[in-house]
Each structure stands twice: as structure tokens, then as C-alpha cells.
Amino acid sequence: GGSLQSDGIVDVGNTAFAVADGELVVADGGELVVDGGDHRFGSLRLQPGSIFDFRSGSLNVAGGTLGITTDNFAYGSSNGLSTIDFSDGGVGEVVEFWRVGDLANTAGKTIVRDPGSRLANLAGGANADIFVGSSGDGFMEVLDGGLVDSNDDITLGERSGSLGSALVRGKVDGQRASLIAGDAIGNVLIVGLQGDGDLTVADGGLASAGDDVLVAWTGLGTGLVTVSGAAGDGTKATLSAGEDLLIGANEGAPIVDRGVGVVRILGGGEVDVNDLTLVGPTDQILLQGGTLRTGRLDLAGDPTRLDWQAGVLELDQSGLVIHQPGTLGETLTLATDMS
């Protein structure tokens, strides 16, 4: 128990350092240096004005809290991989950006696993984004009931040359592994902004955005989304968009090449889009099992942008927009009010 507070430098080096039941507070003017090793904290709080120099190694927050009230939290190692692991109900709380793989030629990973473990931005708003692969390589694993909730945007592969990869997998004790980009209009999930994005939702996991899901959103970015596999109780792996799913395209603008994006839906997977699914000229949906449920589907004149090999396509608004003949596949379900 108890608390250790520092406004100087705490250098834990590469030797295992543990604050199992107490709390380490790095105050204004203080600095925590982690350079290698495997470290465990019951509670770690980085206050405004403090510095977290995470050069390499791993930091495990098991059953405790990592509380960050300093601005723009970022990490990534140029010497191996820097990993923060929340488990056994461990909690991460931030008030501004969370950046993994922040600088070019660095690599970082965030793991959130087990029911009750979560990483959440408490503030919301314009500075609440989570970036996985900002300028370097970023990796995120949300596993077995863990929760990541940005209260705003989540971006995989932010800047040119970056790689952002996220795995959302599993359901344990009724809790789905969940990656949540807010629940309001304006909250988007981006897979490949100017860098390369890769999102896998598997075995009953959930990835969602309050507004749009954007795949390969610029001409510099590439995006790959794979949704597959149900949990043991039958819960499908799900990608959910509160508004649109835009794959290498932008609604209301001339459809030009914005990057290469692919969304792949396999057995046990479900993509649920409230309004429009729009597929750009060099992009594709691979429906190879599972379900694509969308209000509208626009392939912009090219039916080959939907490669429908198996599974269900369900439309519940004003229609399927295909400007040329093509084979659509196994099962087409239309809402009863459609003509």
C-alpha cells in the first residue's frame, strides 16, 4: 500500500520494477524513464507537467490504474518494442491523445485484455483521439472482454510511412472485446489515413464508430479490414458504423482513387452499416460468408467491387446501386417496404 511521489527522475532501467499494491505518482517536473525490462504497477499516475520516457520494455498494469493527466501521451521504441499491457481489470485513463508508435522508426503496442480491463479517454472532444501507428508502427490488441473507448476518433495508420494494426478478439463472461470510436456523430474509425491500416475483428469481438468507418481514406493510405468468427455463444464478430462505411471513396464528392481498401467478411462475421456503403474505384468488399447489412450499397458502376462468394447481403433502405449487370451471389434480403 501507500504512495511514492516524485518530481525528479525515476529511472527503472532494464531491471524488473514493481509497485504491486501502492501507487507511483510522477508529479509536475518529474520524469519516469523505462528503458528495457518488464515492469508492473498497481497504480501509476502521470500528472500535468510530467514526462514519461518509454524507450523500450513492457509495463503491466494488472488490476490497477494508469492515470494520465499530462497532455498528448505517446510512446514507441526505436530499440525493440514498447508495450503497455492492461490485464485482470487494469484500467488506463487519459485526458488527451493516446499515440502508439508515435515517431518514425519506432514501434509500440497496447494490450487490453480480460473482462473489466479498459483504456478510456475521459475527456472526449477534439483532443480525445487514439492513434495506433502515428508516424511509426503501432499495434493494439483488445482481447477476451477488454475495452478500448476513445470517446472520439480512432485512427490506424495516421501519417505517411506508418503502420497501424488492431486485433479485436473474443468474448469472456458475457463481455465482448470492444474497440469503440465514440458513440456520436463526428466520431470516426479510420483504417489507413495516410499510412497503412489493418483491422481484424474475430471470435465475437466488436469494433464500432458513432459515425463513419473510413477505410483507405486518402490517396496515400491503404486499409484492410477482416471480420470473421463467432464466439462460443454464437455472438458474431461485428464491425458497426453509426452512419457510413466508405472504402477508398467519399460521399458527395467525385469518386476518385483515395487509396486501396479491402473489407473482407467471412463466416461468423457481420458488418452492420446504418446508412451508406460506398466502394471506390480500386477497392473491394469480399463477402465470403457472414453478413453485410447496410442501408444502401453503391458500387459506383462496377459490380466487381463486390466479390460475393458466400453469405448474406441485406439492404434495409432505398436500394442497391449497381449501374452495370453482374452476379451478386447467394442470398439477397430486402426490407418489406422496398419495391
pLDDT at 21: 58
Locate cell 490488441: which residue? Answer: 141
pLDDT at 65: 87
Number of neighbours of residue 180 by Cβ within 10 angstroms = 24
Give residue 277's identity as a one-letter amino acid code.
Answer: T
pTM of the predicted model as reported, rounded to 2 decimal places: 0.89
Q: Which residues pair with 325 in a beta bridge?
A: none
One DSSP character per residue, 281-327 reads TT-EEEEEEEEEEEEEEE-TT-GGGEEEEEEEEEEEEEEEE-SS---
Say how far apart CA 210 and CA 152 lie, in whole Å. Answer: 9
pLDDT at 339: 36
Cell numbers that stand for 44 in this block = 501509476
Say how far apart CA 69 and CA 66 lie, in whole Å. Answer: 10
Q: What is the mean pLDDT of each run of 10 residues along the chain (339 residues)?
A: 44 48 77 82 80 83 82 75 92 88 92 95 73 96 96 94 97 97 92 96 98 90 96 97 92 62 96 94 92 90 87 76 45 47
pLDDT at 338: 41
What dihedral angle (degrees, nearest 10) is formed by the CA atoms of 60, 64, 67, 73? Answer: 20
pLDDT at 9: 46
pLDDT at 15: 45
- Identify which of 35, 43, 36, 48 has the alpha carbon closest to the alpha carbon of residue 7: 48
pLDDT at 56: 83
pLDDT at 126: 61
How large is the greatest C-alpha to C-alpha distance in the chain, in angstroms? 71
Cell numbers that stand for 257 in this block = 482513387
pLDDT at 16: 43
Say how far apart CA 273 and CA 300 lie, in whole Å. Answer: 18
Say how far apart CA 120 and CA 110 lie, in whole Å. Answer: 12
